[in-house]
Every structure is written in C-alpha cells, then in structure tokens.
Structure 1
Amino acid sequence: MSPPVDVLVPTCERPHALAVTLSGLAAQTHHDFRVVLSDQSAEPVDTDPLVSAIRRVLELHGTPVRVDHQVPRRGVAENRHHLLELSDAPYALFLDDDVWLEPWAVGRLVEAIDELDCGFVGFAVQGLSYRDDRRPQQLSAYEEWRGRVEPERVRRGSSAWDRHLLHNAANPTHLAEQLRLDPATWRAYKIAWIGGCVLYRRAALVEAGGFAFWPDLPREHAGEDVVPQLRVMERHGGAGILPSGAVHLELPTTVPRREVECYDVVGL
C-alpha cells in the first residue's frame, strides 16, 4: 500500500540546501510518507554526494524517494504542477527546498488536518536570524480558530490580507513563545496564505485547479502558491499551525525576478 502522504519538493540549483531539507525528513518520527523531487537544476541534483547520502538514509528507513529531472525550466508554477501530477496520496505536503523540519512536524500536520477537517494546514517558516527582532505591531492580526475551520474568501485589500504579516521574520517563533506553546500542544489560526510548508488534502487542491494556470504565466514569476491556497481556502478552509515546525534556511532566492505576481495574472 502506498504511503498516505507525498512530500513534494520543487528544487533548482540548491543541492546543499536540499540535503538539509532531506535530512529533516529523514529524522521525522512520522514515517509514513514518500518523497518526490522535481528538479530543474542544470545538473541533476541527485548526483550531488550530500543529496545521494541522505537519499540512501531515507530509503534505509523505508521511505520511498522519486527524483524527476524536470527540464527545460518553465517556471516555479509549472514545477509544482508537475509534482502534483506525480502525486497520488490522499495528502500532499509541498515543502520548499530550503526548509528544515522539526522531527515532529509531519506527524503534527497530519494530526491537525485530520482533526480540523479542512483543505490545508501549514507551518509558516521561521527566520531564526531574526530571533531578537520582535515586531509586536505585526502580530495584531493573530486570531485563532475556535472549533471548526470554516471556508473563507480572502483577497488583497481585505482586513484578512493583513494576516500575511504574521509570517514575517521570526514572528511565528515569537507568537508561539507569547502563547507559551511547546511541541506537545498546538493551536490553529487564521491566515492569508502560507509559504514553504503546506499540507493539502490532495483532492481539494486538484478540485480547485491546482497549478494548472502555469501556461498563462511568463517563465519568471512569483507567488505561485498564493492562488491555489486562496481557492482551496474559499472552498474548504485552511489554517496555520503553531508552534511552527519549519525553519527557513534563509538563502538567496532562486527567483530573483519577481515583477510578475501570479495573483495579478490569474483570475480568482
């Protein structure tokens, strides 16, 4: 029987960061998942010794790993679309190639999405170099879900859009500290969107169109994960989870040209 979670990792020219990401997956206490990489690097990433070493660790632990060399590059939305096409598990965890997960992270996300019964849940990635940079003015939008997570329509210009400030810098870390949360407890909260680590009910993401809008975009674009999340949230609801189990490696972006935002091109 196939694992119930596909961990879908789009990657491009980041073998050492990817090795850190994979090492976090290898250390998970919840083991029932498969890893699928869609690689847009010029040289296949699985030829890198660090990536190959951690892949062997994952496979030793019984975790299947699939690597697709997806070239030529057609943009980040197309890469995510390709990953979704490769997935057949009930849950699809989109994980960026510069994010390290706490050992309890995958299990917590699966627990949360089952309990909340919504379209997706996610961890906002924490930039720990900002640990001493407290921004209380950006935390005022924090609002917890009490009981069932309901569908929401969130669009730019609405008050709910201000929730994106919750995920800046080390704000998720500071929120968890303020609420005195630890890995044994968790809270669900309202979001605008989440980048870097999102667990979807795959059927809900497919129903909302996934990333099939990629042909409408130029190759250089950004914000490809915002549109699907807004669509899924409007139909099935979505939530952030605290404390966050995701840490951003804070490397330079592989998408330096960000003039085109998907939100501005793709109709919602």
Structure 2
Amino acid sequence: MIDILIPTYCRPAALAVTLTSLCAQTYRDFRVVVSDQTEDGSAFESGEVQAALRVLQSHGHVVETLKHLPRKGLAEHRQFLLNQAIAPYALFLDDDLILEPWVVECLLTTIQTEQCGFVGSAVIGLSFSEDVRPHQQILEFWEGPVEPEIVRSGTPQWERYKLHNAANLYHVQQQLKITPDHPRTYRVAWIGGCVMYDTTKLRSVGGFEFWRELPPNHCGEDVLAQLRVMAAFGGCGVLPSGVYHQELPTTIRDRSMDAPQLLPVV
C-alpha cells in the first residue's frame, strides 16, 4: 500500500535512527526505498544503516537502496524517488527523523478517509519543549472533509507555517489532549519532513518535474509540490504528530532560491 521514499545525503547515523523507527511501525505493508547522494562514500556502508536495513528485511519489508548522482538539486532527487514508486501512497520521509510506532498507520487511515492529495505529520523539535509560544499556536481544524485550497506566500493562510516551528505542535496536542485513537485534521500552509501523498494525485500535478525550471541550489521543493497538490485535491496536517526532528545542522545552507517564490502555485 505504501512506498516510503527517503532521500539522504551525508547523514548515515541519522538515517540509521530514522530506519530503526520504521522497524517498530504498527502498520507493516510498506516498501522502503532509500536514495543516497553522498558523493564521498556511501551511507549504505555504515554498519548502523546496514543493521537497520536487515531488521526491516527480517520483518518482511522490501528494501531498495539506490545511489543517485550527480546531484541536480532537491527536487530532481525527489522526482527520482517518485519515479520508483509503485504503491498507491508515497510517504516522503526526511533522513533525520524519529517516528512514533503509530505514525504510518495514522497517516494512511487519514488520507484514505479524506481522499485528499496529501496528509502530513509535522516534525517536533523537543529541545524547545520548555519554549512555549502561544502567539504561534493558532490552529485551524478541518471541521468537515478536506477540500482543495490555494495558499500563496503573503496571504494570511501562509502564516500557518508558524504552528510547525520549534515544539508548538507538541504543546498544542498536549493542551488539547489529542491522541492517536482520535486524530484531528487541520489546515496547513505546508508540512516538512513526513508527508504521505496519493501517488496518482501527486503525479497528476507534475510531481517534482519542475526541477528543470529551477537552479540546482534551490530549496522549498516540497513546499511547492504540496501547494500544487493542495490547490487541486486538498491537503492537511494530522494531530497528534508523532514525528521528532533529530535537530542536526542543515545540509542546505543557501536558501535564497526558494521554489514557491520562483514558480507559480497554479
């Protein structure tokens, strides 16, 4: 039912942690595809990564490890992974996350219920657990079915991204006592790190093929893809989030070429 697609670059230890959290998922019907763009060496040579991959295989998961060079930008790498997808749903997962055991099942149940283009579990930085920011915790629940919505930079809807800063989601879901047994969908600008797409719907809006229109040093490719899917089919976040950021230094230092600022949403 699900292809879990993981792009990785120069983060073997973090990747091993991410893969290990997949070993404990309550939902088991998924394949894992990892694409490495490390130029000097390979993430798959790491003993930690090899161990996690073996555990996944012992659980019956098909695991594919691919090397994809030369580097042509983040969007091109995501498109390469999307080209490998054969399942109805594609979960794009960053290589520096930790997932609670119920996350994949919750995302699948939500996207099947809502029949929308994507559902995401935004990442939480637990180093900010004591940094409470009420002014950034504005939450707009979907009270009915998720519907298409156009969100652009500079609009009030764009400001929803602040809910995903630091540990805001962690504080909100604790205050509201939202549990995996009774998840809630909410409106988003975009979601980083852990997003499940309806594969056909993502492809129907072009996927990440817009990489050809961007300079190689771009960022925001996941944002632009989500905005386009949301405009056509709708998209949402789901609470509670059970995804935690490992809070490593970014591998993307130049963020001046922001895809949603350079290319149209619709």
By the TM > 0.5 criterion, same fold?
yes
1:172 is matched with which residue: 169, 173, 198? Answer: 169
| Alignment partner, residue 24 of structure 2 | 27
Which whole-Å deviations, capped at 9, do the CAs of 1:136-182 have from their partners, x for residues lacking one? Answer: 00112x11001211110111111111100110000110110111112
Other structure's SS at 1:133 match: coil
Other structure's SS at 2:185 match: strand
Alignment of 1:1-268 (within 5 A): 4-42=1-39, 43-140=41-138, 142-268=139-265
In structure 2, C-alpha distance between the alignment counterparts of 1:266 and 1:85, rounded to whole Å: 22
Which whole-Å deviations, capped at 9, do the CAs of 1:26-63 have from their partners, x for residues lacking one? Answer: 11111100000111012121111100000000000001
Q: 4+ residue runs of structure 1 moved beyond 4 angstroms?
A: none
* 2:153–2:261 contact (8 Å) kept in structure 1: no
Cα deviation for residue 101 of structure 1 reads: 0.6
What do you get for the CA RMSD once the two structures are aligned?
0.8
Aligned residue identity for 2:167: A
So what's the TM-score if we normalise by structure 2?
0.98
So what's the TM-score if we normalise by structure 1?
0.97
Other structure's SS at 1:193 match: coil
In structure 1, C-alpha distance between the alignment counterparts of 2:108 and 2:165, rounded to whole Å: 24
Other structure's SS at 2:200 match: helix
In structure 1, C-alpha distance between the alignment counterparts of 2:143 and 2:261, rounded to whole Å: 32
Cα deviation for residue 254 of structure 1 reads: 0.9
Other structure's SS at 1:8 match: strand
Cα deviation for residue 251 of structure 1 reads: 0.3
In structure 1, C-alpha distance between the alignment counterparts of 2:191 and 2:169, rounded to whole Å: 11
